[in-house]
Every structure is written in structure tokens, then in C-alpha cells.
Amino acid sequence: MMIKQAVLVFLVLGLTACSGADHNSLPSNSGISNSLLEDMPNDRTDSYVVNPDVQIFIDRMALDHDYDKERLELAFSHIKVRPTVIEKSDNQPESITPYYEYKTRFVTESRAKSGYQFAKENEKWLKKAEQEFGVESDVIVALIGVETYYGRITGSKDVFTSLTTLAFDYPRRKDYFQSELEAYLLLAREEGWNIGETKGSYSGAMGMVQFMPSNYRKLAVDYDQDGHIDLWGSEADAIGSVANYLKHHGWVTNQDWFVLAQVTAPKKVVADINRGRVADTDMATWSSLGVLPLQSFLPVKTGLIGLRTSSEDMTYWLAYENFFTIMDYNPSRRYAMSVLELAVSIGSYENN
């Protein structure tokens, strides 16, 4: 196996050294963005193109999707590992920051007011989405608000390098990110993007709704029907795409999100607090365990959410299915609760 990998690396080095193109420039018709030149490796031997796993990936793209192999060789030869991507992936605030601190980034007066303005400017599209997909407009707006502050913060790093780093230098989730890298390259070809020109988050999420490439391909919609899906510049497309995503993942029209709950014996239900991402327990069972709703409730199954609302206090909710649908967008209870709290704040602006 080691001999085969050594031969593969030797062949790759030979191919890249003999390509005939200046490593510090790109042909105008290469299909590769010149932005990759900004942080390119000093030498091809320091680039991803010499990675044997990348070569296997390139071969598979060529075989399965008839992708231009030379274009991929050229693109991977102009990028190297991006360490900050790995660092951020290991230190996500959704996982390490208590809710009472986490929410201060998103549930704010300014973000609620901006959400109200965004809703006013896009009333036509929000009403249309609410009718067609059954998702409340405040939830759509709040989700866009939490993701990118209504399109103000969509990410500044090229998606290609970020996804490649996570696909080949982040073993914990390499399979997922290799599939997203594959989806990105297919999307770039479908949309006519130069590889590397698309900017996004450190994890490769794109546009004002921060769709990963696979979701962009499957669930993004041309809501303004101008013949082109644009999740950066079209607020209509963003609204329709968020609504389509939530509906696809099971959003229940006109269903509440959660009710406040009292937990009389936390140690008795410690294994049930923040367990899984599904509403799977009926109210009678919760009552027998000492978990009691403090508001009027629906006679359907719920899941028990517990978040720290101050340094000393833990607050509990019984969450309906829609709460967990938000978690399909981002698998963090802190995130889902922030989206829904912001939605309430935006609704308060609309009602005043």
C-alpha cells in the first residue's frame, strides 16, 4: 500500500511539474478563480494535489460525474490546508457557550428591528412563502437574521479551500465534508462559477441562508423566477429557500414551538434532558416523571429541553416537532431557541 501511495505521489508531482503553466498565474479560461492565488502554497508539492486521497477523489469525480480532471488538478494545486477552519470546527459556540451568553449575539434589539424592516420590505414574498410552505414569516426572517444578519455577514473565505480542508484534514467528519465538496464542485459547474470564487463560512455554508452545497442543489429555489437561484443577492430566493427547507424537514403549520415546563426532580430525568432531536414522549409520561407544563399545551409528543438562562438558573421547555425542525438547520438547541426567541421579538415589533 505504501509503495502504491509513493508511486501515486510521484506521478502527481510529475504531472503538476510538467503542466506548462506558471504556478503563480491561471489561464483566463481555466475555470479557476484568481482569488485562489491570494493564499496559494509556495510550491505545488505543498498543495492538496499531491495528497493521495485527493487524487482518488479527483478520479472519482471524473469517473462518476465526467468532471474535467485537468481543471480539478489545477484547482487543488493552488490550495493548501486552512488551519483556522479546523480550529473553528473544534470550538463552535453552539457547543461550548451557555445559552444566556450565546443568545446575546442574536436576540438583540437591533437584530429584531432590522428583522422587522426586512419583513416589511419583503412582505410579498413572506406571505407567498407562508401560504405555499406553511412556515410563519417571523420564523423565516429570524432564521435569516441569526444566520447572516439578513445577508450582511455571509462569510469571506472561499468555500473550495474550506471544504477541502475539512474533507481531507478533519477526520472526524471527513465523509460528510467530502460529500459536500463533491456537491460544491457539481454546483459550481451547474451555476457556471469559477472554482474558488464562491465565498462562505468556515464550514462551507453559502449565501444569506448559509446553505451547504448539497442543500443548495436540492432545496434552494428560484423564488423570484428570474431564471437563476441567487442566495446572496435575492431576498426572495432566500425566503423561499428557507421555507422550502423547513417544510422539507417536517415543519408543522400553525403548531406551537414549545411550552415552559417545571421539572420537579431533575435527577430523575437527567437522561431525558436534551436527548436526541425528536419529540417522542407524551404528556402523560412527562407528568409521571415530574415534568409539568406551565402553559396550556397540545396533546402531542414533545422533547425536554434544558438551557442555562443565567449562571445559576436552568430553564426547561417541552418542545414540539417544529423546534426540532429548526435543529435540522443547525443541530444546536441554543441555536434553535435563539431563532425562535428572535422570531418572537420581530413579531412584537410588527404588533406595535
pLDDT at residue number 89: 85
- Give pLDDT tens digits for 141-181: 999 999 999 999 999 999 999 999 999 999 989 999 999 99
| DSSP states of 181-230 | HHHHHHHHHHHTPPBT--EE-TT--BTTTTB-HHHHHHH---TT-SSS--
Bridging pattern class, strands 157-158 and 199-200 = antiparallel
Bridging pattern class, strands 258-263 and 314-319 = antiparallel
Counting beta carbons within 10 angstroms of the beta carbon of residue 99, is it exposed (0 to 12), middle (13 to 18) or buried (19 or more)?
buried
Is 147 among the residues known to form the active site? yes
β-bridge mates for residue 258, sequence order? 319
Per DSSP, 312 falls in state S
Residue 277 has pLDDT above 70, yes or no: yes
Residue 27 has pLDDT above 90, yes or no: no
pLDDT at residue number 13: 47
Mean pLDDT of the 334-346 span: 97
Q: Where are the alpha helices (DSSP H) in 221-277?
A: 235-248
Per the residue annotation, which of 73, 130, 136, 147 is the catalytic one? 147
pLDDT at residue number 102: 95
pLDDT at residue number 35: 83
- Give pLDDT tens digits for 242-264: 999 999 999 999 999 999 999 99
Domain spans of the chain? Answer: 2-77+156-200, 258-319
Mean pLDDT of the 190-200 span: 95
Residue 38 has pLDDT above 70, yes or no: yes
Residue 184 backbone phi and psi in degrees, to 5: -60, -45
What band does 204 get if pLDDT is binned at 50, 70 and 90?
very high
Fold designation for 2-77+156-200: Helicase, Ruva Protein; domain 3 (1.10.8)
The beta strands (E) that lie in 65-196 are given as 157-158
Can you give the pTM of this predicted structure?
Answer: 0.89
Give the contacts of 286 (CB within 8 A, at least 6 positions apart).
261, 292, 293, 302, 304, 318
What band does 7 get if pLDDT is binned at 50, 70 and 90?
very low
Residue 5 has pLDDT above 90, yes or no: no
Q: Decide which of 177 and 14 is more confident.
A: 177
- Give pLDDT tens digits for 79-90: 999 999 988 887
To which residue does cell 477526520 refer? 171
Residue 16 has pLDDT above 60, yes or no: no
Residue 21 has pLDDT above 60, yes or no: no
- C-beta of residue 172 within 8 angstroms of C-beta of residue 134: no
pLDDT at residue number 31: 87
CA 242 → CA 24, 34, 209, distances in Å?
40, 31, 7
- Give pLDDT tens digits for 93-116: 666 789 999 999 999 999 999 999
To which residue does cell 451555476 refer? 191
Give the three cell numbers for residue 22: 506558471
CA separation for the pair 269, 285 (Å, rounded): 11
Give the H or E element holding residue 287. Answer: helix 283-288
93-107, 231-245, 331-345: the lowest-pLDDT one: 93-107
